[in-house]
Structures are given as structure tokens and as C-alpha cells.
Amino acid sequence: MTNRRRFYKDVTVTDDVGIALDGRPVKTPLKAPLVLPTKALADAVAAEWAGQGEEIKPATMYLTKLANTAIDRVGVHREAIESEVQDYANSDLVCYRTDRPPDLVALQLKSWDPIVDWARTDLDAPFLVTSGIIHLPQPEAALAAFSMALKTLSDFELSAFYTIMTLTGSALIAMMLARRAITPEAAWTAAHVDEDYQIEHWGQDDEARDRRAGRHTEFMDCCRFLELARA
């Protein structure tokens, strides 16, 4: 979506928890009403619109983007999106471990075992762990339990969940965040055990550092959206 000149003065939250610009309701790219699930999220989305200068810059309106996705994409294609998430869970990052070097083995065990243990205990999902990169299909019971947990998320929560999952490489980490079982920073650290190990031993160039900073900003915006969507 390209930038365009700002055409409004006032931004308000409507009685139905939508957004209005000079009294006119905002719609999604597919022309559905932009109505939010909570007043807290509506206030935050309204603040994005109010904070625009002479130009509207969609890249600075990440909460609005996630809300549009929830309405236009998740609400319409929920079954397909849930299937994608299940595929992630069936080959989740935290279930695949290295067998060397010993210090990285220990780091993965320390960071990832609590995530798998949480899934087994809180979701009743018996995920398996393996060494190497050869695919290990997860038990049907684990995937079924995870699917049940996934269905409890609203379309707005799933919109943020999906992006968190792709940024971390882990559906289990995303589910822990959705269940408030881990903090955002702890989740980010757990998702980057391997990358941080490589940086510590071999360094990181400026381009990679900038990419990671951008991903982290997006991740934190998603975590904020997830919280506001159920506030």
C-alpha cells in the first residue's frame, strides 16, 4: 500500500468500536467495516491514524494492518490458516535439536525443554523431540490437542499469532504467548537460540543486524496487538 496525502482532521472511535475519520467509518482494503474487538485496540488503531502527518504511511500503521488481516483474510480463510499453523506445529523449531557442539545442545535444552513441557502439561499435547533435521511426524494426539487450543483464538488473536509464529519459527512459542505463559522478550530469546549462538561465535554484519531489528519491532507490535485484542 503506497503513501497518500492525509485527507482528514479528526479521528474517533465509534460506538460500535470502529474507527471514523471526520465522522466517516474506516473500511478495510476489501471494504469491510474496520470494527475492533476491544476498546483498547480501537484506541490504539485510532492513535495510529491520528499520528499520521501530511502523508498517510501504511508502514507505520502495523496495528491497522493486523486488524485488516484479521477481518479480510483470517475471517474468510480461517480453515486454511489453521491448517498452515498445524503444519508448523508438526515440524516445530523447538522439537528439532542439534547433537553438537555440547554448549549449543545445553542452550537448546535449557530454552526449549520448558516450551515442550508446557505443551505437554497445559495443552495435553505430547509433542516429541528429536535430534537432527529429518522430519519426525508428531503424534496425532499432540496435533489434535494443539488444534483445539488454536480454535479458542479469535480471528484478531490468530492474525497476530500467525505472524508471531512465522517470525519465531515456532507455533508452540506463539501459543505460549497467546496463553500468557511466556513474556515477549523470553519468547524472542528462545526463538533465537541458534542465531544468537552463531552471532556470539562468528559475529553479525550490519545488514543482518538491521533485518533482525526490523523483525523484532514487528514481533513486539504483534505481541501488543495480541494483548490489546483481548484487553
- Domains of the chain: which residue ranges? 4-61, 67-228
Do 4-61 and 67-228 fold alike per CATH? no
- Where do we find the cell 554484519? 205
- Model confidence at 3, in pLDDT bands (50, 70, 90)? confident
Question: Collapsing DSSP states into helix, strand and coil, what is residue 129?
Answer: coil
**In the predicted structure, residue 209 carries a pLDDT above the cut 90:** yes
82-137 pLDDT tens trace: 999 999 999 999 999 999 999 999 999 999 999 999 999 999 999 999 999 899 99
pLDDT at residue 1, as a whole number: 61
CA-wise closest residue to 107 among 176, 192, 183, 169 = 192
DSSP string, 31-95: S-B-B-SSHHHHHHHHHHHHT--SEE-GGG-HHHHHHHHIIIIIHHHHHHHHHHHHHHHTT-GGG
Per-residue cell: 171: 507455533
Enter the DSSP assignment of 146: H
What would the mean pLDDT of 41-60 be, rounded to a whole number? Answer: 97
Q: What is the pTM of this model?
A: 0.95
Superfamily of domain 4-61: ATP12-like (3.30.2180.10)
Which DSSP string do the residues of 78-125 spell out, in sequence order?
Answer: HHHHHHHHHHHHTT-GGGEE---SHHHHHHHHHHHHHHHHHHHHHS--
Alpha-carbon gap, residue 40 to 60, rounded angstroms:
19
CB 80: neighbour CB atoms within 10 A? Answer: 11
**Residue that the C-alpha cell 505481541 belongs to:** 223
pLDDT tens figures, 15-32? 999 999 999 999 999 999
2, pLDDT greater than 90 = no
124-172: pLDDT as tens digits: 999 999 999 899 999 999 999 999 999 999 999 999 999 999 999 999 9
Cα–Cα distance for residue pair 176/190, rounded to 1 Å:
12
Nearest by Cα to 226 from 172, 174, 166, 191:
174
How is domain 67-228 classified at the architecture level of CATH? Orthogonal Bundle (1.10)
Is there a contact between 90 and 137 (Cβ–Cβ < 8 Å)?
A: yes
